[in-house]
């Protein structure tokens, strides 16, 4: 089945017809039994599956901070990323929409470092995903109702964020920097030390765990290279645990810990070979623990949660009506929905390597659809070859020394469909597509996948550069947001842009902080006014004027 760009655009138009006004969010949701405008902190570590934490079982290291945090929070056992890699997943988190439905599904769309010569396919042009009319990053809604929003410091949303999204986004961004100590805050702290790259970047640092004591998963040979690389990864996790403790201690020292809602999670599964980028649970399943004054500490929640649910959940907790543009559902707060039945995930281009894979899970059974079955499972991603274990696996493959389960990654083709019982087969080795007793489940999940594609659309069906040129009106250059219109009357400034859904920010010459424009505001004649209009996916249009 094929979906054209026009069909996708029509689907978006339908989805956005009931959006709330982009100029002002609705604080119309009662927060009865919930705190009003609570402080919210996200602690996000990169590239880590749940089992490395003692609270989720452990693999040989020690994580005392997060193990204690588990006793003070709700621990989720079925939380999933929407991709096995960061940028598409982060696009989903920040918008509350599946990355495949907004053209943010390929890894990655924006520029990489200058030495990443093999990062993109031939004739590729970097771009910001163009969000549909009416959609914006959820922190902007928080700012509109008075929150101080900070991001420390990774964005990686597949688009350039407008200046209106964060009060601060840098490696110094912190809730402590808010001008009013009583101002509510939403603060994100991204911890990079567990990222894939740190396995080789920290290769010569001392290990905190004995390689002989670590758990070796069956996708790897149990030998010295596997054990040392895993020990390096677990050591990084242990250091990450210490960093989490420092963030928690800052909240305690300020007297804010008890009443702050704290999310701890990872941006997808492990950063190790045959984990990261895959749609098996080892690439998608994440640790998620949430502490809040209204949640019972030390409890376990087995409901399905997806990254697409994070944005609507934050709006629910803040008392903001969830926008129709968001495709997820709140799992906390006054707008909490019934538990979801399925979670969905996608894999598309990874650096220079093109593939298209989709997955749906009911928490136990996982259905995978390979749209390019003639392509091999393994992709020769140059970046990953920095990992000594990846090089080792390739050598053992060439020598014919891998087990059948390990070798299947290097098969030249893959089945069109895969079905796994992750409860009895957690490594997803045994494909049940041809199992007579599983045909009903196969039909159910196959239909769930197709329904998902039909309802939200899937830009993965469209060649990437064709999609981008369609956004850009057939050009190879992104359009520019229309020049902001500025009027000054009776001491009040009114701002607008002819570009639909453009975010408009303004600031004084003496300030680095951009305010989100919502309504006319007072201004002194003779003062400089800086204005930026920016529709995500377009180039921003900056303007400086002297109010006369």
Give catalytic residues, as residue numbers.
86
CB 266 within 8 A of CB 284: no
Sign of the CA dihedral 2, 6, 7, 9?
positive
**How far is the C-alpha of 143 from the C-alpha of 166, rounded, in Å?**
8
366 sits in which H/E element: strand 365-370
Provide CB contacts within 8 A for 451, sequence distance 6+.
none
Residue with tokens 């490696």: 171
Residue with tokens 């899937």: 458
3-state helix, strand, coil in the chain (%, to 5): 30, 20, 50
Q: How many CB atoms neighbour CB 525 within 10 A?
A: 9
Could you give the angle at which helices 5-15 and 464-471 cross, rounded to 10 degrees? 60
SS3 call for 116? coil
**Nearest 10 degrees: CA dihedral of 382, 385, 391, 394?**
-30
Q: How many CB atoms neighbour CB 75 within 10 A?
A: 23
SS3 call for 370? strand
Helices (H), 202-339: 224-253, 281-284, 310-318
CB 73 within 8 A of CB 296: no
Strand partners of residue 290: 74, 263
């Amino acid at each position: 089945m094929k979906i054209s760009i026009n069909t996708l655009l029509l689907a978006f138009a339908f989805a956005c017809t009931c959006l709330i006004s982009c100029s002002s969010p609705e604080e119309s949701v009662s927060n009865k039994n919930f705190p009003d405008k609570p402080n919210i902190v996200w602690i996000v570590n990169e590239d880590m599956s749940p089992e490395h934490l003692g609270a989720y079982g452990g693999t040989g290291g020690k994580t005392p901070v997060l193990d204690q945090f588990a006793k003070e929070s709700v621990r989720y056992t079925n939380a999933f990323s929407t991709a096995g890699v960061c940028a598409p997943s982060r696009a989903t988190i920040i918008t509350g929409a599946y990355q495949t439905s907004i053209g943010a599904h390929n890894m990655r769309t924006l520029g990489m470092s200058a030495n990443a010569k093999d990062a993109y396919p031939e004739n590729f042009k970097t771009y910001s995903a163009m969000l549909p009319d009416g959609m914006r990053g959820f922190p902007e809604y928080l700012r509109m109702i008075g929150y101080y929003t900070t991001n420390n410091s990774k964005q990686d949303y597949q688009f350039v964020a407008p200046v209106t999204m964060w009060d601060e986004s840098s490696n110094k961004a912190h809730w402590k920097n808010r001008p009013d100590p009583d101002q509510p805050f939403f603060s994100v702290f991204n911890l990079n030390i567990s990222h894939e790259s740190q396995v080789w970047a920290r290769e010569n640092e001392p290990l905190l765990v004995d390689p002989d004591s670590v758990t070796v998963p069956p996708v790897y040979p149990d030998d010295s290279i596997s054990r040392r690389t895993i020990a390096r990864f677990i050591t990084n996790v242990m250091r990450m645990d210490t960093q989490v403790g420092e963030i928690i201690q800052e909240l305690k020292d300020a007297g804010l810990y008890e009443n702050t809602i704290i999310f701890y999670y990872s941006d997808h599964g492990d950063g190790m070979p045959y984990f990261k980028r895959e749609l098996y649970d080892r690439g998608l399943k994440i640790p998620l623990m949430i502490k809040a004054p209204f949640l019972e500490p030390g409890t376990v929640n087995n409901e399905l949660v997806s990254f697409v649910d994070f944005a609507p959940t934050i709006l629910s907790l803040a008392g903001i009506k969830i926008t129709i543009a968001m495709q997820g559902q709140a799992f906390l707060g006054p707008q909490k929905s019934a538990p979801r039945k399925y979670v969905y995930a996608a894999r598309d281009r990874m650096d220079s390597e093109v593939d298209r894979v989709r997955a749906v899970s009911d928490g136990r059974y996982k259905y995978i659809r390979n749209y390019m079955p003639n392509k091999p499972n393994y992709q020769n991603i140059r970046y990953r070859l920095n990992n000594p274990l990846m090089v080792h696996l390739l050598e053992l493959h060439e020598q014919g020394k891998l087990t059948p389960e390990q070798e299947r990654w290097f098969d030249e083709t893959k089945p069109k469909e895969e079905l796994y019982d992750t409860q009895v087969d957690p490594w997803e080795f045994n494909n049940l597509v041809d199992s007579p007793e599983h045909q009903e489940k196969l039909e159910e999940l196959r239909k769930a996948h197709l329904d998902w594609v039909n309802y939200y659309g899937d830009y993965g069906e469209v060649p990437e550069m064709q999609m981008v040129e369609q956004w850009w009106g057939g050009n190879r250059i992104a359009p520019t947001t229309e020049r902001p219109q500025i009027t000054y009357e009776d001491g009040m400034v009114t701002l607008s842009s002819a570009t639909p859904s453009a975010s408009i920010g303004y600031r004084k010459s003496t300030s680095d902080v951009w305010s989100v424009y919502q309504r006319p505001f007072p201004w002194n004649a003779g003062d400089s006014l800086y204005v930026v209009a920016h529709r995500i996916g377009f180039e921003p249009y900056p303007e400086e004027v002297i109010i006369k």
